[in-house]
Amino acid sequence: MDGVVDDDDGEFEQLTAAQVLERLEESWVNERLAPYLLESQQEVVDCLLEQCTMAEENSSQISPFAADIQRLELQRIRYVVTDYVRTRLKKIERHAEYALEEEKKKVDENITYLSPAEFVFAREFHRNTQNHLQETALKHMPQAFQSLNQEKSMVHPNLNTFIFFKVKEDCDDVLIDPQETSVSLSKDEIHISKYHPISPLLDQSKIRLV
């Protein structure tokens, strides 16, 4: 299963199925450990699901033994994909308003944090929570108190939480803490620091969370 095409930054990148799976598993671990949503890897997910359905359809053409083993692997892949999506949805549910605000403020069209389906989910979830609050509580309050201040009631994710990461490529002059001097990171070291200063490195795939 070679030469699977994956869309990356508007250019087509040839990746093998194994590399796509590798990328999904890394994104899964990163997503589980990060305090807020990372860039949406929707193409990777779609590509893998396509591979899975193709493999299932072809399973009649190979020996039952091989089909068995393939089925085991498909179950593993399906678990990773569902847990990845589940983690993202949980984060969206926690920070629905913040996510929608960020989407509005987005500067670079190529970097999406919410896939189209997730955006719809976030909007509907937010709308439903607002309605629920309105119906159950706000409606019965005196007129002057019947609105919710968006800014103050939003749940901001804590982007300054501490996080462990492993370095994939050498990076020089990384400003880990604004009040301290910059450090150099060498390959295969494990560090702990605040999430915010190193999140650009994570987006560029120079580090991965561990």
Nearer to another protein, 1 or 5 (CB): 1
Q: Output the smallest distance, CB 34 to another protein, in A.
A: 12
Q: Output the smallest distance, CB 5 to another protein, in A.
A: 15
Nearer to another protein, 14 or 131 (CB): 14
List interacting residues with another protein (CB under 8 A): 1, 17-18, 21, 25, 29, 32-33, 48, 51-52, 55, 62-63, 65-66, 69-70, 72-74, 76-77, 79, 83, 158, 160-164, 176-177, 179-180, 183, 188-194, 210
**Tokens standing for residue 203:** 């987006």
Rounded to whole angstroms, the Cα distance separating 25 from 125 reads 27
Nearer to another protein, 29 or 89 (CB): 29
Q: Output the smallest distance, CB 20 to another protein, in A.
A: 8
Give me the torsion for CA of 31, 35, 36, 38, rounded to 10°.
-30
Largest CA distance in the chain: 72
**Tokens standing for residue 96:** 């629905």
Q: 2 near 16, Cβ under 8 Å? A: yes
Nearer to another protein, 123 or 194 (CB): 194
Q: Output the smallest distance, CB 164 to another protein, in A.
A: 6
Environment class of 207 (CB within 10 Å of its CB; exposed 0-12, middle 13-18, buried 19+): buried
Nearer to another protein, 12 or 79 (CB): 79
Q: 150 near 77, Cβ under 8 Å? A: no
Q: Output the smallest distance, CB 159 to another protein, in A.
A: 12
**Tokens standing for residue 197:** 């200063």
